[in-house]
């Protein structure tokens, strides 16, 4: 018996030995990824290598069939998994199993100021991507919010590099745990949609390093992002997708990025630059990235036949090619060739729950005079809901982030469901914005056509408002072109479709007015003094109505804070006051526009602080249904050495009657410095949940990084000895306590 068992074991062992010997190194998962990459590379022909550096369809690039190395499949990103399109068309493939959960837009995620929510977001969307057999998720986006006109701000994480950095890292980690790569976009300086393919950004190094790059750097170095997407715009006269400085010098050089640079769709313009300036994988060439394009042009891609020809003619070597292929293989072994990844899941209740929680935590209570919110159903018996955005599906539209959802709860539905028969809910349209609901063949199925005149619509809304105990106006922007949408910027900070006039009329009709602004951008609020309660509600995805209703009714105590400044007018934005937005057309016939970021590092609150401008609502602002009191901030030492850390502590008390969460913000001010610096900069934050009456000590530990600025002449981060101030605040303009310390 013993002998037989031993014999069996021997056989087993021998079997696995032969198997291991037979398994080529590149397929052997006991080997390191680097060993597998080198082995695979050594087996590939020149043609096979060139083939994997460019797309074969709208969203896939080839593997190596002969070696059993699989294709890479990509998907947008960043709020849900895009429905399948045809092989070489933007049109729908017509699958019936490709509906997804839409998560709230990234502006909403940033507004939670809660890295745990970013982790949950990444994990959940990564599971959906994995289930749909996608290898690369085209997102998240971390371009800095420079102007409120940028049509794509809703896909990004706000104006502050520190906030965006802290939020992007857990998102990246959450996604990649699924064996799905993120593709952080759009690297870099893609801060507007207007002329996005032809704008040459001119920015000084301080702004580049202090404002525009940190979130990308954090995604790469801390999040360990496996891929990154080059941007459409130019910088130093080269497109972002083949940009020597951004890609080779900074990303791959200074940051040691070992992943793949994927082009934005149609962002490649030159074979020579694509070969030598850091691009690895070319997508979407001969298309505009959105709708039209030349069909089956893959062999004509810049990194396809033209590249092969140059190599065969001996005009370029294969050093760059091998580097690109190594990176692509590494990405493959991390994703499609990784047999140990989890299975993922699609449209699970856990994902809906995640979407709802993130939405609830991201909604920002901007104003709440007379305690109008939460709505008290003991007193309010008739509620008027007014506005197109109470009905409109916001997951369809907006450009490449458009989704086909399994379900989407509209604000009106959410409110109705929550209220049940406890009060009467009457709806009036109020205005007609954009009744269409179609993107790339995905139709919302809603019939929002209404032929009444604005006067008729207003009259009806005013009538309904007068007869109600409380009015909830739900408007804002939508995902149509010229609103919050890819490929074009907004024309004005004001709301369109006559909403401002309507809000004034409603405020006159009924003083108990709540305005819910659905947008990914700041808007002008000429009516701010007439409206007691204002909520910033973002594009909330599948669970929009449920999340919004929980906050309106007080099931959830709002705890979101603005990830960007709401200016009173465009005059109050550095990019508009000093910058050259939207760029100055060159006179050489090249169609290139130069745009100098003259405001430099003074973006968002850094600008309003410096110019002493009172914003409409400040960065970091957000109210709660309870109140918080901050005690005095204390410091563990008054002098800190450059190699030491410093701990700051502040007691925060919930002084109201209900549980709530507060985002405690730490800003640092450099009192005197050689180079000009912002008045203060965010260097820490913590979201803390407190029961009524509860006090907690909130501690922040900082090191010299929090005190440093980028010295462009020395090309390094410098923490200058001298006096600093630590400022603890509830928003950029709501400062609660300060303490001084010195760096030795
Ligand atoms: C967008 C990218 C997107 C890509 C693929 C481009 O138009 O700029 O963000 O990932 O298309 O859809």
Render pLDDT for 301-336 as a digit per residue (tens, 0 to 9).
Answer: 999 999 999 999 999 999 999 999 999 999 999 999
Find the mean pLDDT for residues 192-218. 98
Atom of ligand 1 nearest to the CA of 138: 10
Neighbours of 684 (CB within 10 A): 20
Residue 696 has phi, psi (to 5 degrees) of -135, 145
Find the mean pLDDT for residues 720-734. 98
Give the tens place of pLDDT for each residue, 465-507.
Answer: 999 999 999 999 999 999 999 999 999 999 999 999 999 999 9
Find the mean pLDDT for residues 538-546. 98
Neighbours of 713 (CB within 10 A): 10
Structure tokens at 264: 């934005």
Does pLDDT of 14 surpass 80?
Answer: no
Structure tokens at 344: 């993922």
Question: Which of 220, 295, 208, 286 lies closest to 251, judged by CA?
Answer: 220
Does pLDDT of 19 surpass 60?
Answer: no
Q: Are 173 and 568 spatial neighbours (Cβ–Cβ below 8 Å)?
A: no
Give distance in angstroms: CA of 264 to centre of ligand 1: 6
Give distance in angstroms: CA of 75 to centre of ligand 1: 9
Give distance in angstroms: CA of 191 to centre of ligand 1: 14
Element (DSSP H or E) covering residue 164: helix 161-176
Superfamily of domain 363-556: Glycoside hydrolase family 3 C-terminal domain (3.40.50.1700)
**Atom 12 of ligand 1 has which residue's CA nearest to it?**
400
pTM for the whole structure: 0.96
Give the tens place of pLDDT for each residue, 509-534.
Answer: 999 999 999 999 999 999 999 999 99
Q: Which residues pair with 386 in a beta bridge?
A: 428, 473
Residue 140 contacts by C-beta under 8 Å, 6 or more apart in sequence?
Answer: 77, 78, 106, 157, 168, 171, 172, 182, 184, 185, 219
Name the one residue in this structure whose structure tokens are 């008045």.
Answer: 679
Residue 244 has phi, psi (to 5 degrees) of -50, -50
Atom of ligand 1 nearest to the CA of 185: 9
Dist CA 689 CA 338 (whole Å):
40
Residue 230 contacts by C-beta under 8 Å, 6 or more apart in sequence?
Answer: 186, 187, 239, 240, 241, 242, 243, 246, 247, 261, 262, 263, 264, 267, 279
Q: How far from 94 is each of 80, 90, 98, 289, 675, CA to CA, in Å?
A: 18, 12, 9, 20, 58
Dist CA 357 CA 556 (whole Å):
10
Find the mean pLDDT for residues 672-699. 98
Q: What is the pLDDT of residue 28?
A: 96
Buried b or exposed e, range 396-418, using 16+ CB within 10 angstroms: bbbbbbbbbbbebbbbbbbbbeb
Structure tokens at 109: 């995620």
Q: Which residues pair with 384 in a beta bridge?
A: 426, 471
Structure tokens at 360: 């609830």
Q: What is the pLDDT of residue 6?
A: 42
* 3 state DSSP class of 127: helix
Burial of 634 by CB count in 10 Å (0-12 exposed, 13-18 middle, 19+ buried)? Answer: middle
Structure tokens at 315: 């005009």
Question: Which of 496, 302, 306 lies closest to 387, judged by CA?
Answer: 496
Ranking 432-446, 556-570, 622-636 by mean pLDDT, the lowest is 432-446
Give distance in angstroms: CA of 262 to centre of ligand 1: 11
Percent of residues, the chain, with pLDDT higher than 90: 95
Give distance in angstroms: CA of 90 to centre of ligand 1: 12
Dist CA 699 CA 666 (whole Å):
10
Give the tens place of pLDDT for each residue, 27-73.
Answer: 999 999 999 999 999 999 999 999 999 999 999 999 999 999 999 99
**Atom 7 of ligand 1 has which residue's CA nearest to it?**
289
Dist CA 398 CA 76 (whole Å):
12
Respond yes or no on whether the N-terminal peptide bond of residue 372 is cis (omega within 30° of 0).
no
Give the tens place of pLDDT for each residue, 644-664.
Answer: 999 999 999 999 999 999 999
Dist CA 228 CA 244 (whole Å):
15
Dist CA 387 CA 508 (whole Å):
16
**Atom 6 of ligand 1 has which residue's CA nearest to it?**
289
Dist CA 362 CA 397 (whole Å):
21
Element (DSSP H or E) covering residue 330: helix 319-334
Residue 248 DSSP symbol: I
Residue 430 contacts by C-beta under 8 Å, 6 or more apart in sequence?
Answer: 386, 387, 388, 457, 458, 460, 461, 473, 475, 502, 506
Dist CA 181 CA 172 (whole Å):
8
Q: How far from 482 is each of 186, 491, 495, 569, CA to CA, in Å?
A: 20, 7, 11, 18
Does pLDDT of 88 surpass 60?
Answer: yes
* 3 state DSSP class of 306: helix
- 363-556 and 625-743 have identical folds: no
Average pLDDT, the chain: 96
Q: What is the pLDDT of residue 13?
A: 44
Dist CA 704 CA 719 (whole Å):
6
Give distance in angstroms: CA of 400 to centre of ligand 1: 5
Superfamily of domain 625-743: Immunoglobulins (2.60.40.10)
Residue 288 has phi, psi (to 5 degrees) of -95, 15
Q: How far from 710 is each of 243, 528, 578, 606, 707, CA to CA, in Å?
A: 22, 39, 22, 15, 10
Atom of ligand 1 nearest to the CA of 77: 10
Residue 613 contacts by C-beta under 8 Å, 6 or more apart in sequence?
Answer: 567, 568, 572, 607
Atom of ligand 1 nearest to the CA of 76: 10
Atom of ligand 1 nearest to the CA of 139: 10
pLDDT band at 681 (very low <50, low <70, confident <90, very high): very high
Q: What is the pLDDT of residue 21?
A: 64
Does pLDDT of 20 surpass 80?
Answer: no
Give distance in angstroms: CA of 196 to centre of ligand 1: 12
* Candidate from 72, 76, 153, 485 with most ligand 1 atoms within 8 A of CB, to mutate: 76
Active-site residues: which are they? 264
Percent of residues, the chain, with pLDDT higher than 70: 97
Ligand 1 pocket at CB < 6 A: 76-77, 138, 185, 264-265, 289-290, 400
Q: What are the residue ranges spanned by the domains of the chain?
A: 33-334, 363-556, 625-743
| Options 3.20.20.300, 3.40.190.10, 3.90.650.10, 3.40.50.1970; CATH of 33-334 | 3.20.20.300
Dist CA 322 CA 303 (whole Å):
13
Dist CA 83 CA 134 (whole Å):
11
* 3 state DSSP class of 364: strand
* Candidate from 138, 233, 401 with most ligand 1 atoms within 8 A of CB, to mutate: 138
Does pLDDT of 15 surpass 90?
Answer: no
């Amino acid at each position: 018996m013993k002998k037989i068992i031993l014999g069996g074991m021997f056989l087993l062992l021998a079997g696995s030995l032969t198997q291991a010997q037979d398994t080529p190194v590149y397929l052997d998962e006991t080997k390191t990824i680097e060993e597998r990459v080198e082995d695979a590379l050594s087996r590939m022909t020149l043609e096979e290598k060139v083939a994997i550096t460019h797309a074969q369809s709208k969203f896939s690039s080839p593997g190596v069939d002969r070696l059993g190395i699989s294709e890479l499949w990509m998907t947008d990103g960043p709020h849900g998994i895009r429905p399948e399109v045809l092989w070489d068309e933007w049109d729908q493939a017509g699958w019936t199993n490709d509906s997804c959960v839409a998560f709230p837009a990234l502006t909403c995620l940033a507004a939670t100021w809660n890295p745990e929510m970013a982790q949950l977001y990444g994990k959940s969307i990564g599971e959906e991507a994995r289930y749909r057999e996608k290898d690369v998720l085209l997102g998240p986006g971390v371009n800095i919010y420079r102007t409120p006109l940028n049509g794509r701000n809703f896909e990004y994480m706000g104006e502050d590099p520190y906030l965006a950095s802290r939020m992007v890292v857990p998102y990246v980690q959450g996604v990649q745990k699924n064996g799905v790569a993120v593709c952080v976009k759009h690297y870099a300086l893609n801060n507007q949609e207007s002329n996005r393919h032809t704008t040459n950004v001119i920015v000084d190094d301080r702004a580049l390093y202090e404002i525009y790059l940190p979130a990308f750097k954090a995604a790469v170095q801390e999040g360990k992002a496996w891929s990154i997407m080059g941007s459409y715009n130019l910088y130093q006269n080269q497109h972002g997708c083949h940009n020597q400085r951004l890609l080779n010098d900074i990303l791959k050089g200074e940051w040691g990025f070992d992943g793949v640079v994927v082009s934005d769709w149609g962002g490649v313009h030159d074979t020579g630059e694509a070969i030598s300036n850091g691009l690895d994988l070319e997508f979407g060439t001969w298309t505009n990235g959105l709708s039209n394009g030349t069909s089956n042009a893959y062999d004509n891609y810049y990194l396809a036949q033209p590249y092969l020809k140059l190599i065969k003619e001996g005009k370029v070597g294969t050093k760059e090619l091998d580097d690109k292929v190594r990176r692509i293989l590494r990405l493959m072994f991390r994703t499609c060739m990784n047999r140990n990844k989890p299975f993922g899941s699609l449209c699970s209740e856990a994902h809906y729950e995640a979407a709802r929680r993130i939405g609830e935590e991201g909604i920002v209570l901007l104003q709440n005079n007379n305690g109008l919110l939460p709505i008290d159903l003991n007193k309010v018996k008739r509620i008027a809901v007014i506005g197109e955005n109470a009905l409109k599906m916001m997951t369809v539209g907006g450009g490449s982030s458009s989704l086909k959802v399994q379900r989407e709860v509209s604000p009106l539905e959410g409110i109705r469901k929550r209220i049940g028969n406890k009060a009467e809910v009457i709806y009036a349209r109020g205005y007609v914005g954009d009744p269409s609901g179609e993107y790339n063949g995905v139709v919302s199925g809603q019939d929002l056509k209404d032929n009444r005149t604005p006067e008729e619509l207003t009259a009806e809304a005013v009538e309904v408002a007068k007869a109600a105990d409380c009015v909830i106006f739900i408007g804002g922007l939508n995902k149509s072109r010229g609103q919050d949408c890819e490929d074009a910027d907004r024309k004005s900070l004001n709301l369109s479709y006559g909403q401002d006039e309507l809000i004034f009329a409603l405020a006159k009709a009924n003083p108990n007015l709540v305005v819910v602004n659905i947008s990914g951008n700041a808007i002008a609020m000429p009516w701010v003094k007439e409206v007691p309660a204002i909520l910033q509600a973002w594009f909330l995805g599948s669970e929009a109505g449920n999340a919004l209703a929980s906050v309106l009714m007080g099931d959830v105590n709002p705890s979101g804070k603005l990830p960007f400044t709401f200016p009173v007018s465009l005059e109050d934005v550095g990019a508009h006051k000093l910058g050259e937005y939207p760029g100055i057309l060159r006179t050489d016939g090249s169609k290139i526009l130069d745009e100098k970021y003259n405001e430099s590092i003074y973006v968002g609150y850094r600008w309003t602080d410096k110019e002493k401008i009172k914003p409409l609502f400040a960065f970091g602002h957000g109210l709660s249904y309870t109140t918080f009191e901050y005690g005095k901030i204390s410091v563990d030492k008054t002098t800190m050495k450059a190699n030491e850390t410093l701990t700051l502590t502040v007691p925060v008390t919930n002084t109201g009657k209900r549980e709530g969460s507060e985002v405690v913000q730490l800003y640092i001010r450099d009192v005197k410095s050689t180079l000009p610096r912002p008045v203060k900069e965010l260097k820490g934050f913590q979201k803390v949940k407190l029961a009524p009456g509860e006090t907690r000590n909130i501690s922040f530990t900082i090191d010299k990084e929090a005190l440093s600025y980028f010295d462009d002449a020395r090309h390094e981060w410098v923490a200058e000895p001298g006096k600093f101030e630590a400022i603890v605040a509830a928003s950029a303009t709501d400062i609660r306590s300060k303490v001084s310390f010195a760096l030795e």
